[in-house]
């Protein structure tokens, strides 16, 4: 056999610089769907208008064939296929082109385009799914007014939904069939099209907008799930009100519908007037959802709603501009959640996500700027960089000008570009003009990849404190040389004697090296730098353990306080990993951390939500990221060793904390949620230090639990322990929640993510469990993503973890390439892992790339990871 047959065709690389305006526009489109699970017929009538010189209309397709092509109502032969695309020759400037296609939703396992999920039909079109439904210029800068006719079986599809407003409903054609027409007056790109047909019931409510418009709200779910939609509905109403108050944005249709779907590749989708959600971001009650689930629902409902302006009214010119809508909308949902709950804890959580998910992207083979320059498959760019770092970049603009001027900038942006397909540059320009700031150099954040490193040193002489800062941006693929960035840093200088400071200041580091002088300090002050995480950078400050202990106890900025404790632990663990610590130094380091933890556990002024946050040790991935070459086994050992020390030395305090928190009854208040959080954090430390004691306590918490947060927290701890209680409670959990997919996901996930020494064997066994399926992305992620980010499973020295993920990718790629490609990144870290493991990881990537017929999603990620 010729080896070249195994090589995929050279993939097309799409460049941002090659952008051309569309040759033809489609101001109006009418879609007629004759719905069926196995066969759906689609007739698309496009009013097209020439927008350039070309007489050839290019309509994108993917896996579909035209059954009929009409131009101005007449059959035509003036068309041909170019790969998957349909080309139609048109003589004049304006025509109506009508195309008939037939699709099989039941066979669509990619879950892109129109697909079947538990008997219901639904769509997912972002980024390029619409071309799997019909032929169309499937690009975000072609905006059309949509009218959608649907007909289908009343039995199978009693509810028929699409974007906009329902303008007609009726019986027929024929026995047992009904139909509906939907019209969306707002021009939109094809990726925002949505259709849902199924047996659904709604939780209905209304919202009156600031100008007095009454909007009907509906959250559509399966019969029996209505009672679990109240939190999502409240989040929706809160979001609508918040966006009016905070950004002056009002909703613009008479209807807003949300549909929850159990088979979904992502979290949710902001289709105009008809958001489609993964069930996990809609359904919640105390019995089945954790406090984190509640937060996730609130954040995602808000995020998708906010897209109505930042994404839908103003969309992206092309997919390179994805951060225009995603970075801005993530910032908007973060600010919303800060206002709804604890702003301090929300900020810390967001930073933890950034460090766990985005920093590794920035330091790995898939590093890209928030506005990428090229891609093979756009689905691969729905990344933490585009989303979360994108949000940080816009947050920095807000920090630089303050909230009021920032609002003037966003007002101008919404005014200036409403109804357009815009670019990141349009956004930056609007903030510049509206807020009155020069963002010339700041634009580097859009083009340079990599996490900037800032070094800091504070000197003190003659009553003057001098801060010396230097920055560098590490090289990333395709970008060897970097220019200095604009880095806003919020700082405070504490008087160590009084424990206070004279006010926070904002300084801006915009050159390679700078000095800032602060007179009036008789004593050397303690430096608090990067307060509120004011820039997405890594800071190496020359700061003593003594100063870190001081800040961990006294800093009035909650993030800075958290960060000081984290830094203290990171410094200690890196020294342990370095292997150069004497026994005395090891003991002293642990002792200092235990003292700081004891202060946190016992600090009466702290609320429990914040206390719980402070009790979380830096993650293994974050620790690995601090090292040029990491040994994941050694990191686990060092981190667990410290936890064990803390669990033993703080046993009494942790038991007392657990005891106190256990007396707080279930409620959604901050106090009760905080109590649940510290309970599980206390258990996690005790489990490392005094496992038998912790097992009994966890089992008791499990048995007494009247809510999922307590039950899952206890089970998570038990799942990592060698105890008969482990099996007993796992079985009880499964029996209690049989038939509830979202909870069964948790059951898979907490075993795959556990600290148990045999966790890898557990994952392998779970893959054969009757509740496991490869066709549901939530289930696949619950088992395998939890395993891939658990160093105790993924990085076992034998390489079995890599082999397991590699096999998963190869098996999943033909079913669902988008989800399969997401599993490449953990293997792609091989350059930063010790040589023996690195070789095994690389070999697995090579096996993946060699697989015949690999999707371009997976091929792009795997080949780039090999470098
Ligand atoms: Zn989004």
CA of residue 108 to ligand 1 center, whole Å: 23
Report the pLDDT value the prediction gives residue 129, as an integer from 0 to 100.
98
Pairing mode of beta strands 487-495, 464-472: unpaired
> What is the pLDDT confidence band of residue 239, given thresholds at 50, 70 and 90?
very high
Sign, Cα dihedral of 441, 445, 446, 450: positive
pTM: 0.98
CA of residue 260 to ligand 1 center, whole Å: 16
- Helix, strand, or coil here: 81? strand
Q: What is the DSSP string of 824-844?
A: HHHHGGGGGB-HHHHHHHHHH
Distance (Å, whole) CA 138 – CA 125: 10
Distance (Å, whole) CA 507 – CA 465: 14
Closest CA to 48 of 149, 136, 163: 136
Sign, Cα dihedral of 485, 486, 488, 489: positive
What is the C-alpha R_g of the chain? Answer: 28
CA of residue 561 to ligand 1 center, whole Å: 31
* 131 Cα distance to chain centroid: 25
CA of residue 199 to ligand 1 center, whole Å: 27
Question: Mean pLDDT throughout 510-515?
Answer: 98
Ion ligand 1: residues, Cβ under 5 Å? 326, 329
User: Please, are residues 358 and 384 in contact by the beta-carbon 8 Å criterion?
Assistant: yes
Distance (Å, whole) CA 822 – CA 380: 8
Report the pLDDT value the prediction gives residue 867, as an integer from 0 to 100.
86
Whether residue 400 is predicted with pLDDT greater than 90 in this model: the reply is yes
Report the pLDDT value the prediction gives residue 779, as an integer from 0 to 100.
98
Known active-site residue 651: no
Q: What is the DSSP string of 191-205?
A: GG--EEEES-EEEEE
> What are the residues whose beta carbons fall under 8 Å from the beta carbon of 498, sequence distance 6 or more?
none
CA of residue 779 to ligand 1 center, whole Å: 22
Question: Mean pLDDT throughout 626-655?
Answer: 98
Whether residue 763 is predicted with pLDDT greater than 70 in this model: the reply is yes
- How large is the angle between the packed helices 691-704 and 724-736, nearest 10 degrees? 20
Question: Mean pLDDT throughout 17-35?
Answer: 98
- The structure tokens listed for 389 are 């770092």
- Helix, strand, or coil here: 121? strand
Q: What percent of the chain has pLDDT over 70?
A: 99
Whether residue 8 is predicted with pLDDT greater than 60 in this model: the reply is no
CA–CA distances in Å: residue 477 to residues 361, 369, 435, 449: 11, 10, 34, 9
Give burial (CB, 10 Å; 0-12/13-18/19+) of 605.
exposed
Q: What is the DSSP string of 444-511?
A: HHHH--S--EEEEEEEEETTEEEEEEEEE---BTTB---PPP-EEEEEEEEETTTTEES--EEEEE-S
Q: What percent of the chain has pLDDT over 90?
A: 98
Question: Mean pLDDT throughout 397-403?
Answer: 98
CA of residue 307 to ligand 1 center, whole Å: 7
> What is the pLDDT confidence band of residue 10, given thresholds at 50, 70 and 90?
low
Whether residue 9 is predicted with pLDDT greater than 70 in this model: the reply is no
Closest CA to 840 of 632, 694, 543, 661: 632
CA of residue 226 to ligand 1 center, whole Å: 25
Report the pLDDT value the prediction gives residue 3, as an integer from 0 to 100.
43
CA of residue 669 to ligand 1 center, whole Å: 28
Question: Mean pLDDT throughout 448-462?
Answer: 98
> What are the residues whose beta carbons fall under 8 Å from the beta carbon of 604, sequence distance 6 or more?
none
Virtual torsion, Cα 112, 115, 121, 127, nearest 10 deg: 10
CA of residue 733 to ligand 1 center, whole Å: 34
- The structure tokens listed for 525 are 């002050």
Distance (Å, whole) CA 357 – CA 386: 11
CA of residue 146 to ligand 1 center, whole Å: 22
Sign, Cα dihedral of 499, 504, 505, 511: positive
CA of residue 394 to ligand 1 center, whole Å: 15
Closest CA to 79 of 95, 105, 50, 99: 99
User: Please, are residues 375 and 127 in contact by the beta-carbon 8 Å criterion?
Assistant: no
Edge to edge, what strands does the sheet with 214-221 contain?
A: 201-208, 214-221, 255-261, 274-278, 268-269
Whether residue 6 is predicted with pLDDT greater than 90 in this model: the reply is no
In total, the chain counts a number of residues equal to 867
Report the pLDDT value the prediction gives residue 580, as an integer from 0 to 100.
86
Residue among 128, 304, 361, 640 flagged as catalytic: 304
Distance (Å, whole) CA 290 – CA 284: 8
Distance (Å, whole) CA 103 – CA 132: 8
Residue 203 Rama label (left phi>0; alpha psi -120 to 50; beta): beta
Cα of first residue to Cα of last residue in the chain, in angstroms, is 27
- How large is the angle between the packed helices 390-401 and 424-435, nearest 10 degrees? 10
Whether residue 488 is predicted with pLDDT greater than 80 in this model: the reply is yes
CA of residue 565 to ligand 1 center, whole Å: 33
Average pLDDT over all residues of the chain? 97
Whether residue 97 is predicted with pLDDT greater than 80 in this model: the reply is yes
Distance (Å, whole) CA 485 – CA 396: 12
> What is the pLDDT confidence band of residue 2, given thresholds at 50, 70 and 90?
very low
CA of residue 270 to ligand 1 center, whole Å: 7
Question: Mean pLDDT throughout 389-414?
Answer: 98
Whether residue 742 is predicted with pLDDT greater than 80 in this model: the reply is yes
CA of residue 300 to ligand 1 center, whole Å: 8
Question: Mean pLDDT throughout 591-604?
Answer: 95
């Amino acid at each position: 056999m010729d080896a070249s047959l195994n090589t995929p065709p050279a993939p097309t690389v799409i460049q941002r610089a090659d952008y051309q305006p569309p040759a033809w526009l489609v101001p109006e489109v009418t879609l007629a769907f004759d719905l069926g699970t196995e066969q759906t017929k689609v007739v698309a009538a496009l009013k097209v208008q020439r927008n350039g010189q070309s007489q050839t209309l290019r309509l994108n397709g993917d896996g579909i064939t035209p059954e009929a092509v009409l131009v101005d109502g007449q059959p035509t032969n003036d068309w041909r296929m170019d790969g998957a695309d349909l080309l139609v020759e048109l003589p004049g400037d304006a025509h109506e082109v009508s195309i008939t296609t037939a699709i099989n939703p039941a066979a669509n396992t990619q879950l892109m385009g129109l697909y079947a999920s538990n008997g219901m039909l639904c769509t997912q079109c972002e980024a390029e799914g619409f071309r799997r439904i019909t032929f169309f210029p499937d690009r975000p800068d072609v905006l059309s007014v949509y009218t959608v006719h649907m007909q289908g079986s009343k039995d199978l599809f009693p509810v028929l939904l699409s974007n906009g407003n329902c303008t007609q409903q009726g019986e027929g054609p024929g026995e047992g069939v009904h139909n509906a027409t939907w019209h969306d007056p707002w021009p939109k790109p094809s990726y925002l099209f949505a259709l849902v047909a199924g047996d659904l019931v709604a939780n209905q409510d209304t919202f009156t907008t600031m100008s007095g418009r009454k909007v009907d709200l509906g959250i559509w779910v399966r019969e029996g799930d209505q009672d679990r939609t109240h939190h999502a509905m409240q989040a929706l109403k809160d979001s609508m009100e918040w966006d009016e108050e905070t950004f002056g944005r009002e909703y613009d249709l008479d209807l807003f519908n949300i549909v929850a779907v159990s088979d979904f590749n992502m979290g949710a989708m902001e289709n105009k007037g008809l958001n489609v959600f993964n069930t996990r971001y809609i359904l919640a009650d105390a019995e089945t959802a954790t406090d984190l689930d509640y937060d996730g629902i609130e954040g995602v409902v808000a995020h998708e709603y906010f897209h109505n302006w930042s994404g839908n009214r103003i969309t992206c010119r092309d997919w390179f501009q994805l951060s225009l809508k995603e970075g801005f909308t993530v910032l908007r949902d973060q600010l919303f959640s800060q206002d709804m709950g604890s702003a301090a804890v929300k900020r810390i959580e967001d930073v933890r996500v950034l460090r766990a998910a985005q920093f590794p992207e920035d330091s790995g083979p898939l590093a890209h700027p928030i506005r990428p320059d090229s891609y093979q498959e756009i689905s691969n760019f729905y990344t933490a960089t585009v989303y979360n770092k994108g949000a940080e970049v816009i947050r920095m603009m807000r920090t630089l000008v303050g909230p009021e001027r920032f609002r003037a900038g966003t007002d101008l942006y919404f005014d200036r570009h409403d109804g357009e397909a815009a670019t990141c540059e349009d956004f930056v320009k609007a903030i510049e003009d509206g807020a009155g700031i020069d963002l010339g150099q700041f634009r580097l954040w859009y083009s340079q990849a990599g996490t900037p490193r800032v070094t800091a040193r504070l000197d003190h002489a003659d009553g003057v404190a001098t801060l010396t800062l230097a920055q560098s941006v590490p090289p990333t693929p395709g970008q060897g040389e970097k220019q200095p960035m604009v880095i806003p840093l919020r700082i405070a200088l504490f008087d160590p004697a009084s424990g206070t400071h004279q006010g926070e200041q904002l300084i801006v580091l915009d050159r390679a090296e700078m000095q800032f002088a602060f007179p009036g300090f008789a004593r050397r002050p303690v430096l608090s730098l990067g307060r509120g995480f004011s820039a997405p950078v890594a800071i190496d400050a020359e700061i003593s353990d003594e100063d870190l202990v001081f800040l961990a106890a006294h800093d009035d900025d909650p993030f800075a306080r958290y960060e000081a404790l984290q830094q203290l632990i990171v410094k200690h663990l890196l020294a342990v990993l370095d292997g150069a610590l004497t026994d005395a130094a090891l003991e002293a380091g642990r002792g200092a951390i235990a003292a700081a933890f004891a202060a946190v556990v016992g600090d009466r002024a702290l609320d429990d939500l914040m206390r719980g946050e402070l009790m979380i040790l830096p993650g293994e991935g974050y620790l690995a990221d601090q090292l040029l070459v990491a040994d994941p086994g050694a990191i686990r050992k060092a981190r667990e060793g410290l936890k064990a020390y803390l669990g033993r030395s703080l046993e009494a305090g942790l038991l007392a904390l657990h005891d106190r928190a256990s007396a707080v009854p279930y409620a959604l208040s901050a106090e009760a949620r905080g109590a649940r959080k510290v309970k599980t954090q206390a258990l996690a430390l005790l489990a490392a230090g005094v496992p038998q004691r912790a097992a009994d306590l966890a089992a008791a918490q499990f048995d007494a639990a009247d809510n999922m947060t307590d039950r899952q927290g206890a089970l998570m701890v038990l799942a990592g322990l060698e105890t008969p209680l482990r099996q007993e409670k796992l079985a009880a959990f499964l029996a209690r929640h049989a038939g509830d997919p979202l909870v069964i996901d948790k059951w898979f996930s907490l075993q795959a993510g556990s600290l148990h020494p045999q966790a890898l064997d557990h994952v392998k066994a779970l893959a054969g469990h009757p509740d496991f399926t490869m066709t549901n992305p939530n289930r696949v992620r619950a088992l395998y993503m939890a395993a891939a980010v658990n160093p105790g499973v993924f990085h076992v020295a034998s390489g079995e973890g890599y082999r397991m993920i590699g096999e998963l990718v190869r098996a999943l790629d033909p079913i669902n390439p988008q989800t399969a490609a997401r599993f490449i990144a953990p293997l792609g870290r091989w350059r930063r892992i010790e040589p023996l493991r690195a070789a095994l990881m690389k070999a697995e990537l090579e096996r993946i790339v060699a697989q015949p017929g690999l999707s371009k999603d997976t091929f792009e990620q795997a080949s780039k990871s090999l470098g």
